[in-house]
Structure 1
Amino acid sequence: MAIAQLIPSLEPRLRELFNQHTERARNIDWAYSDYIPLDEFQRDPQAIPRLSPTILSAIELAVFTEVNLPWFTTALHAIFKGSWSVLLDFVHTWTSEEDAHSLLLETYLFVGRNGDPRARAALRKQVIRAGLMSADLLYDPLQALVYTAIQERATQIYYLNVAQAAEREDPHLARLLRRLAKDETLHYTFYRDAVKLHLEADPNCVYPVADVLLKFEMPGRGSPGYQERADRVRMANIYGPEQFYAQVIDVVLKYWRITELHPTYAEAREAQQKIVKQHARLAKIAAQLAARRERQAQQQGAQPE
């Protein structure tokens, strides 16, 4: 018997979460023209500035993560098929909302003549053809909910952090990114709350949380140029291990109240301890990186001009 699985009595609660998502998404619906004001750009071609290498890398990294959508949808559909209809309903809705993200970002880069559109198109095709995703993404339904909750939170924070970094450089881009983050917030909320309902109903559901957390990778990792772009974004202190710990993992695990759970299965209790240790390990890495960055800043400040 599985240690943790979907709890049938919670299906109506997830339907409520889906209905709430649908209503919230309807209230913040948007169109391309809201974020790519072509009339303004035609009047003033300089309205879209040339992006710095760091911000361009950040946007292209987002594009080559988002273009994995066909494979992500295929995986989730296969996982949820045969379980609850509400999960498939949400995946279909989620796909329709996510589909616009990479297209909007790519269009913005193209209109602004940022980067090499021919090379970007070739890499886009290569990434989609390869189906580059986490090799361990094909979990059971409960594990998929955990994975996607973490992934959606990470994407939400990534967009918000890049928006903050891009504000002075390109306010239009910053506004666009914050809009995409709103979609990610709604998606994260559904998956996050679906997992929390299971943890509250059966603390043994902590077992798949550990399995996902210890193996977690973002979709698209391993694609050509991924690490180079990710390193550039990390070195600018926009998004990296520090942010992943403080703004993603720490927030999600506290919301799920992992340390307060009382699993009855020994395997689940062991999984809970693995989560606690992984949380501490990520915190240590983040602290070390922050201290190193502070030392480097002090050394640079002490150098004579």
Structure 2
Amino acid sequence: MKVKFGEYLGDSSTWTSSDYVEPESFWSAQRSTLTETAKAALITTLLTHNNYQSVESPAIPSAWTSWTSAWSDEKARHATAIEDYLVATRSVDPVALDRARFQCMTVGIASSMEGDHLLRSIAHATIDVMATMVSHRNTSVECADPVATALLGRVVADQERQVEFLRSIAAAAFDIVPAQTASIVTEVIMNFQMPGSGLPGFERSSMLIERDGIYDLRLHLDEVVRPILKFWRFFERTDLDLGARSTKILADFLGDLEARATSFEARRLRAS
């Protein structure tokens, strides 16, 4: 099977519909009204959502595997809707998009659901979806298009439901195993990165997204990290026992994050 698969790959060649339909007849960079920042944000979302795959369902499905399957379906729906919008508004080169998608599916990018620890997956997914919601809201403003506003508003509505589910599950974990949950939440927040670090052109896209306020350290701190920690009453808990050290570690980290966010804002102000 391995030999035959190697032969199969060797004989294959990449093709897209644009090989048969002239791309110039339906795409031109001059036709789009979106800013480069809006395009970068939407394409990043599209590629990260396309690359996501839910975990394989076991013979006897659990509530968690059922959830990840439903979440995967919603993410796929979001990706399709965003791609349809980008193509309809002539905002993306379909050939370049197909190449980027192929690279993502071949090489892969980090997923918030990777790993075999349920609590870590839940905590990471909560932060990930909240961060993406902030990005979508600000992308909607950047697009300055009522269609994009309606579309991204619908995506955010789905994500609000996702966050409600995820943060509630994590809150229940705090009640059952508070010390372990506090330790994992601290680990996730201190190591969190927005998905897409392996995407083609990610450095340029992330620079535009950060520079123009789609998503940056200040937004991450004030609209994601602090609100979710408040919801979980992280710094108010008296039941952490051995996990109490996590509150000190995370408090120090947030202090450093505050300093970095303030420094970034000052640099952006000077550059404007």
TM-score, structure 2 normalization? 0.81
The alignment status of 1:181 with 2:135, answered yes or no, reads no
SS at structure 2 position matched to 1:228: helix
Distance in 2 separating the partners of 1:135 and 1:56: 23
The residue that corresponds to 1:56 in the other structure is 39
The residue that corresponds to 2:129 in the other structure is 152
SS at structure 1 position matched to 2:194: coil
Letter in 2 for 1:261: R
The residue that corresponds to 1:67 in the other structure is 50
Once the two structures are TM-superposed, the CA of residue 105 in structure 1 deviates from its matched residue by 0.8
The residue that corresponds to 1:220 in the other structure is 196
Distance in 2 separating the partners of 1:83 and 1:273: 41
Trace 1:103-142 onto structure 2 (pairs within 5 A): 103-133=80-110, 137-142=114-119
1:98 alignment partner, one of 75, 78, 86 = 75
1:166 alignment partner, one of 143, 147, 153 = 143
The residue that corresponds to 1:229 in the other structure is 205
1:242 alignment partner, one of 195, 198, 218 = 218
Contact 2:112 2:128 in 1 (8 A): no
241-250 or 132-141: which moved more? 132-141
Contact 2:137 2:152 in 1 (8 A): yes
Once the two structures are TM-superposed, the CA of residue 137 in structure 1 deviates from its matched residue by 3.6
Once the two structures are TM-superposed, the CA of residue 201 in structure 1 deviates from its matched residue by 3.5
- Identify unmatched segments of 5+ residues in structure 2: 1-30
Paired residue total: 241
1:277 alignment partner, one of 247, 252, 257 = 252
Letter in 2 for 1:283: E
Query: Deviations for 1:229-285, whole angstroms, at most 9, x for unmatched residues?
Result: 01111111221112111111111111111111234543x222222221222222221
Once the two structures are TM-superposed, the CA of residue 84 in structure 1 deviates from its matched residue by 8.0
Distance in 2 separating the partners of 1:136 and 1:156: 17
Query: Deviations for 1:52-94, whole angstroms, at most 9, x for unmatched residues?
Result: 2111111111112211212xx13xx58xx69982111211221
Letter in 2 for 1:123: A
SS at structure 2 position matched to 1:127: helix
Once the two structures are TM-superposed, the CA of residue 120 in structure 1 deviates from its matched residue by 0.7
Query: Deviations for 1:131-188, whole angstroms, at most 9, x for unmatched residues?
Result: 2115994140111110101001111111111112222xx2211211111111111111
SS at structure 2 position matched to 1:67: helix
Distance in 1 separating the partners of 2:245 and 2:116: 20
SS at structure 2 position matched to 1:114: coil
The alignment status of 1:86 with 2:63, answered yes or no, reads yes
Distance in 2 separating the partners of 1:252 and 1:157: 13
2:178 alignment partner, one of 203, 210, 222 = 203
SS at structure 2 position matched to 1:189: helix
Distance of aligned partners of 1:164 and 1:176 in 2 relative to their CA distance in 1, 3 Å threshold: same
- Identify unmatched segments of 5+ residues in structure 1: 1-47, 298-305
- Percent identity, aligned pairs only, is 24
TM-score, structure 1 normalization? 0.73
Contact 1:258 1:272 in 2 (8 A): yes
Q: CA RMSD in A?
A: 2.3
SS at structure 1 position matched to 2:224: helix
2:234 alignment partner, one of 255, 258, 283 = 258
Letter in 2 for 1:96: D
